[in-house]
Structure 1
Amino acid sequence: MRRAERGMTSLLGMMLLGVMLFAACGLLTLERQAAQEGRGYEAEVRLRLLAQSEAERAAVQLEAGGALAGLEMTRAGCTLLPERMTDDGCKVSVQAFPEDLRTPQNGKIIVTAHAMAPRGEDRVLPVRSELRVRARMRKGDDGYVWLGWMP
């Protein structure tokens, strides 16, 4: 092999290594993006489960005829649970509103859950950092009755 041919082989080898490095960086970027989307989805599901559990807890209290069962839902609504922070850094509040002003005995529970970034951590919040779930209730003779989830 001549001297010039050895230089061309080295140049082609370096170019091939550069293309492989570029492809590896692209795959690494895609992998990081997929992992971040997975964490965002997990946070959104946790937020939805938190909101649904708080709605069910309020519904059980109303169904049981406890202290909140005598609470009348006015046009402006009423607060069943003031805003509080959970252990994992989420704010949650529970409110009740009349479903229709013509039939005030039917009501809806609205739970708002909001994910907060922990202090001291540089964490990206998911796209849906605030989530609301709604449930229907009907006032019966001995308290409220659960009618199901609303869209």
Structure 2
Amino acid sequence: MINRSLFPAVVRIGVLTAIGTGLLLLPGCDGGGTSPEPPSPPTSVQATTQDGSVSLTWDGGADASGYNVYRSTSPFSGAPGTPVNGDTPLGQPTLTDDAVDTGTRYYYRVTAVGEGGESDPSAEVSVRPFPSPPPRPEHIL
């Protein structure tokens, strides 16, 4: 018989053995430990354009092990979608996005990835890539 007064307000499973009463802990019952928190969102996201591409840089913080970059052609609302960098988080706080059309405005957000999962997104930045300038004219009279 299990004496319930020994375990107030805690759900435990008692096991009767030949020696006496034991305690069975199920897998995943780690005694109330806490899970790690996601990293802080990246800050100071900067977007620049040159030669028909977009270069992004940001401050990631010490607790991030990688980053995801999200792109949209309209301001973000709700879920961010699929990362530009695919399934593998970036190891450095920088990305060059060559898959853009010149003249189209793009919106970007960055998240940090760590042991505790993915952070909230950074502040949104927008940029409109422009084409490379034409070559310098030669032989002008």
TM-score of the pair, normalised by structure 2: 0.36
TM-score of the pair, normalised by structure 1: 0.35
Task: Answer 1 or 2: higher relative contact order, Cα 8 Å, separation at least 6.
Answer: 2
Compare the two structures and name the one with the higher helix fraction. 1
